[in-house]
Structure 1
């Protein structure tokens, strides 16, 4: 009965926090942390201790799967270098610097445990990033933050695993590096395989309800085997989500996609809410333990505050050159656009076509470029490659990232559930374990309160880019409508297709092709696809 009461309380609290959040201007996760903390102070409420495996293995895989499925694959491809830098290089840098700091300030804490705590507080949180997403900042900034938070938690957990192993036995840096590479590589392979298998199976389950039930198991079908072979189950879930989200429009019916979308929105809301309630409920018990063992929590509070400042400084130091590199990419893209336009003109002329194809091959580089230079790629594929290059250049020019956007990205790097869960995985014989866990909790909660509680004002003060203006958005929508009309005309026209559903299917194929090429914004393509799906469902009822 107690479990039932707690469950009902959690659902009601999540619903209330979500409904009240826009009215009071406070992010729902902060409201839930406060509710959990307040509930833990009530008489008769026992100290809550949640097995970290419940969060790491039971909560995070579906959350990361859903987040991965919602990230536009084209945006992820375009920002892959920056996302990799933020999620891997910055996490490693933060772990190293914070490890040195903790070894210096905490008496008798070995290097291994110092780096373990550094790894715990290094990753930004995939759930906390949802706070910034709701503030209407530019889609490009959201893609970077979401991509970073999806992958850096797995990186931090692998580093934590290596640090704990080093504390128990002689482990070299090369051993940890090899484990990291293998864990990530195997996880990516498993994620891709399970993602494609999910699309294949879902395409053959015609009953929408049965398909939804099967989909709920997919994140675990990816994460559990990965963990069993020593890889990162979280990375496997993320990659599986990316593959599923990118292929769903082609492989699944509108009814299945709409059902999955609604189901996963509800699941995300519940799981996110439960996580933050747990943080609020658990922190009182950890504080009591530290007070008993260390005669107060003042040292832990001070250390947590300094850690938050250090994390922000490290993040700013990393993002500053990253933005400079992005600015160089934008300037190079601006210079490249006239050259690409000239290549397209010559590609259409039979007299200059051969040289234009060679230029496309040289510009493409890699395996694709060599195949183009050898003549192994059909002319229409060369044309598509050039179209994608033009679209990528336009994307970089239209959505620049400047100092204002960089400052918001620094402030948006909040810690949260991954830090809390990772801290709880420390072995019971860890020296000063209660102190280390409390520091991690305070960093997570303090980050949410300080950064999450003020990020709305930071965005209002800095006024970063919000993406396309209303006029630009209207112009792009008109261009997309014209593109869809042209696709229908190329298919013989609406009369030849015979029905509105057939027209919708042609337009959907055109949208999917446009998404592969990146010739329209991901948000517009997603909105248009949802509109077509809703219309087809209505017609087929």
Structure 2
């Protein structure tokens, strides 16, 4: 590796770390600090114009980032709000691309409608990395869930529309061909992603070393991305599908050591790659501006079009999101009627379980309704980011006024990040939505869940349902000591091997109960994962002490 490139990488990592420190002290989101740092560096005369290959972001950075987000995605909450998430990630992207296409067709004479729609598709998706700004605001978790789900899935819709519009610009538009290409892109991605996720879980299950296992896990997003792209599908959707499968199957197929190693590794990768994306956005400013200075109309033309395009984006998003409130109210009302009917007609265990889950879902909707305040946050939080800029740079070199189109994409992406990102905290505070902690698990829910697991363990111990490997019972005196030591404050030094063996057996019982509660939907994904991490840590500690006793 050339020394200059190595120095740039080291400087980039240091900048990301210090930007995060500055953000924590000033209250400004880290991504915004990094964009500003990149812009300032790009304007230094000694720094040459920087052009980041779009393939580096689309194929190198986004697959692991989206995979990491999908692995930790709150599956229970995603299922509950799948209607809202699906509408935002597909329908809103299509509508936005078409409306923006009409605007660009008017604003840039000679561009042609297909290429105008292509630019509209580039500006349509919200950015998965940009939603990290929203997580720090402390707004209700349901709002964050909807925004995360939208940003995970809408890249497929936008990139397929972009690819189709470029083809239409060269060979003509066909509605059936466009529809077929869209479904194939999504279908092939889901199939490949799911298959790769299942195979990866089973292969990792056979790999006993946690370090080697994690190294193997780092290849999964690319193993999903590359074949899907070769088949003409959306590699990013494949990475998301693989991440969902791996995230949901980790409890069954991976050991506690492997899960904890994965979590630590992916947090580090996500931290570095997120920062790199925003830093690169700022660094590209000078090179993009340089390509537009000599053009007719210069920078002013791009600024004017970008400003109007941003207004169109916000208006279209508001026109779609605001009716979500009335639709949600109707959905809850219909669901409540179905709940009463299902409870009256339940005749089997399966039907009772389904009715119970519907009841829990309704309680969730009642506890966290999407009011006009939440819809306002969802509208204003639709920031554009790295996907928009990377997609713009994939436009063919022969595209009319290509430099102008790329510059408009950059202005909208960077402008939305800065304008919306800086004003979101003020808006959330003005609406009175910053009541939750910006980070951290739901403590009250965790205490309830922990109490449920301990009660289950005590009941099994009292009934003699937990025995040693040879079938003999555990000593009675060890029961209370083990139960009191299960948790974050465990201090296991001095206990005998029998108590460590009992602790492992009790953890197994508690984990079974945790899986049962997870399927019921009674607890949030955040609480379930927090308690699972506690059990994993306790199991690792008990195994290490048991090995030392032997």
TM-score, normalised to structure 1's length? 0.90
Partner of 1:526: 529
Deviates more, 1:261-270 or 1:193-202: 193-202
**8 Å contact 1:48–1:281 — kept in the other structure?**
yes
- Residues 218 and 538 (structure 1), Cα distance of their counterparts in 2 relative to 1, 3 Å cut: same
Partner of 1:281: 283
Q: Distance in 2 between matches of 1:310 and 1:399?
A: 30
RMSD of the alignment, in Å?
Answer: 2.0
- Residues 68 and 474 (structure 1), Cα distance of their counterparts in 2 relative to 1, 3 Å cut: closer
Partner of 2:357: 388
Partner of 1:538: 541
Partner of 1:434: 403
- Residues 464 and 179 (structure 1), Cα distance of their counterparts in 2 relative to 1, 3 Å cut: same
**8 Å contact 1:408–1:464 — kept in the other structure?**
no
Residue 403, structure 1, aligned to residue 372, structure 2 = yes
Q: Distance in 1 between matches of 2:432 and 2:252?
A: 38
Partner of 2:51: 49
Which aligned pairs between 1:343-358 and structure 2 lie closer than 5 A? 343=344, 356-357=346-347
- Residues 262 and 476 (structure 1), Cα distance of their counterparts in 2 relative to 1, 3 Å cut: closer
Partner of 1:40: 42
- Residues 123 and 494 (structure 1), Cα distance of their counterparts in 2 relative to 1, 3 Å cut: farther
Show CA shifts across 1:443-468 (max 9, x none).
00000010011111111111237569
Residue 513, structure 1, aligned to residue 516, structure 2 = yes
Which aligned pairs between 1:78-157 and structure 2 lie closer than 5 A? 78-157=80-159
Q: Distance in 2 between matches of 1:476 and 1:266?
A: 27
Partner of 2:421: 452
Partner of 1:63: 65
Q: Distance in 2 between matches of 1:391 and 1:197?
A: 33
Residue 253, structure 1, aligned to residue 255, structure 2 = yes
Q: Distance in 2 between matches of 1:482 and 1:534?
A: 18
- Residues 120 and 475 (structure 1), Cα distance of their counterparts in 2 relative to 1, 3 Å cut: closer
- Residues 138 and 4 (structure 1), Cα distance of their counterparts in 2 relative to 1, 3 Å cut: same
Distance apart, 1:482 and its partner CA: 3.8
Deviates more, 1:498-507 or 1:15-24: 498-507
Q: Distance in 2 between matches of 1:402 and 1:490?
A: 42
Q: Distance in 2 between matches of 1:516 and 1:489?
A: 22
Partner of 1:215: 217
Which aligned pairs between 1:289-438 and structure 2 lie closer than 5 A? 289-335=291-337, 342-343=343-344, 356-357=346-347, 379-438=348-407
Partner of 1:481: 450
TM-score, normalised to structure 2's length? 0.88
**8 Å contact 1:329–1:396 — kept in the other structure?**
no
Q: Which runs of 4+ in 1 moved over 6 A?
A: none
Secondary structure in structure 2 of the residue aligned to 1:49: coil
Q: Distance in 1 between matches of 2:175 and 2:535?
A: 53
Residue 164, structure 1, aligned to residue 166, structure 2 = yes
Residue 464, structure 1, aligned to residue 433, structure 2 = yes
Deviates more, 1:439-448 or 1:394-403: 394-403
Deviates more, 1:509-518 or 1:126-135: 509-518
Q: Distance in 1 between matches of 2:240 and 2:462?
A: 40
Deviates more, 1:480-489 or 1:185-194: 480-489
- Residues 494 and 313 (structure 1), Cα distance of their counterparts in 2 relative to 1, 3 Å cut: farther
**8 Å contact 1:336–1:393 — kept in the other structure?**
no
- Residues 261 and 475 (structure 1), Cα distance of their counterparts in 2 relative to 1, 3 Å cut: closer
Q: Distance in 1 between matches of 2:260 and 2:156?
A: 30
Distance apart, 1:73 and its partner CA: 1.3
Deviates more, 1:156-165 or 1:477-486: 477-486
**8 Å contact 1:103–1:109 — kept in the other structure?**
yes
- Residues 80 and 467 (structure 1), Cα distance of their counterparts in 2 relative to 1, 3 Å cut: farther
Show CA shifts across 1:183-207 (max 9, x none).
1011111111111112111111110
Show CA shifts across 1:94-152 (max 9, x none).
00000000001111110111001000001000000110012121111111100100111
Q: Distance in 2 between matches of 1:278 and 1:303?
A: 23
Distance apart, 1:336 and its partner CA: 5.1
Q: Select the residue among 224, 234, 246 that pairs with 1:232.
A: 234
Secondary structure in structure 1 of the residue aligned to 2:298: coil
